[in-house]
Structure 1
């Protein structure tokens, strides 16, 4: 996950103060020194760090902390609130026009992921808000950009307005808006040209497109992995165009996360969406409070629930619960369940949303390889129908056959059978559990 280094440092620092029954000014000063170092190492703008540290320090040595019953926890609450505020406070949504179509101008440097993000966002608004988007290919300088947008359109089954690479980008943008009005499309995404760096010609063209289309949103697409440069790019675009929002891409990569913590503060432009992977549904609304919780190891249960609601069939979930209660859960059910979990996204991302996951035994530094699920599926698919329904009949010779058929080993087959039985017992306990009873601990296969 993004912010990994920052999260580890902050969590370790806050852990020292968490259980303290009494917090002195010296404690707070020492903690804030470590917080400052953690933020600077994460590539957060130094002015932003200074302002953040001063605000937390001021509140942490105030009456609300020193006079509270649990001052250590109160300090953590202050850090979370200030971290949330730093990233924008409340989530910022797309500003939809009262008179369709809503015009969204996508801007940014070359390679930031504008074209892919246009497709992802169009797909997101169609699925989540039932909108009818039109994408306009206004980047005529990079031939691949027009082809890429048209390919995305075919893949997502979304219309694309394109006039090739010989037309004027300003004309393309204006005509695309007219086309959307005539065809009753709700939203127009204008995929504009980028450069390897900001130049005057690019900015003048973008200003002309802004003038003729009067966009409701001007979204800057920034690669989170460029760190502090992302903030400089955001400042330049904001000064010339007046940005309404930012989309941070590659936040799933090896980024230190400083851009996300600095952009909002430096440009006063909200981060509206974050890209969390390469797939066309790997885009999330940016919730500052949820991200602050994840950074501080408090999990992000709301996002996890939303993912589950989007990808898990409620009727099937109810049937599954009944099967667990009656202990009639089979490997076929397990296979179906694996499919639903895979649709929710990478496993390490899902685990990262669980409160305190990094502190759970065996979870720290756990590298979850989604490819391992392929082996689990292969083992189950190598079983006969009878074996999937009654695993207890799987003897030594059957295990050898299943291992050979799945390209794995007898040891892996044994491991899966053992974990399957443990999971059945645990899930039966959980579904029958009364409030207050001890909960079981769920294991993922091959972990």
Structure 2
């Protein structure tokens, strides 16, 4: 792919660059992979390289690809708000001694999973014909909730033209308005420039809590937040569907809907245990799409909930290539699981997919995120794409520059004991300072001012 822009309306993937402080702190309740690798050594250089290789692979398929920079880490402002004082090195040392958990929170690189960054609705669906962004409040965990303000700033900097883009504040942060972003939102359409149908998936509804919710883990996404975003984004209510997660799936480790279902254009691939009322969800989707949607349900007898979570089968990406093929981009774990790999072969044989591409994302997978976690989908017309900050659009040259940047600035390995190292802080800030020049974004972080 030689061009950085698409000649027609396209779905552009904005992937989060994995930051220099990528570590395994196990901060996310309900994320089984994250918890199972807690406090193991991480490999930031390999992690960032794997994420970048996935972006380059998609771009080679003709899928428009862009990058979002990491958030500044350590988050010294958070630590100071929590009572740690002194110079930067003293703050890090005190946090390590008094609360290693809070230090890990301030060093988290979880912003790499941009499927949680925001909910985005394209101009074809909004009655004002502009692209709407609402950053996620991520209230269920401190390490994610502390990302919201920087995420909002980055989105406003990259999508800056008010003729094309509308930026909303996050919905109010409260337990009954929890919002985890696009990981619980899917758009169905015939072509990208045609009006679509929006599916908002939720785990909790404070107005209708009948005690049937999950027992083991917290439901992170609220129905109220989805309803608010639908109003803010000026969507046609007749083209919006709300679906409740199956509490059993949440308790099995399905913390977001994109761990158990994936949709693209007029295809929904999901586990039969994804939704609390699957027949109603399918009926609503068929009605709102004029019966053009194809729903492929995988029976639990074929792939158990545990295997779905372990392999991240449904956290794959479905993409349309420049030759109009439908390709599933799946984690390498799916190929290594005999049952899941056999199922994927059958899905190719029955023309659900033209082929499956496997990607190695071991570092992200061990921390609880697969291919779909790493990307935020933004449907853009040619004029809208032309107005995006061009430095973030992936090119052959930028891939090489980012590979060299990673190799210069990222450590090969990182342990929990390393997080308080003031040298790591300097390395991280220096890397991000250089990155903003590479991406032509200017000074965007507080430490650069």
TM-score, with normalisation over the residues of structure 1? 0.26
Give the number of the structure whose residues are more often strand, by fraction.
2
TM-score, with normalisation over the residues of structure 2? 0.26
Using CA pairs under 8 Å that are at least 6 residues apart, name the structure with larger relative contact order, 1 or 2.
2
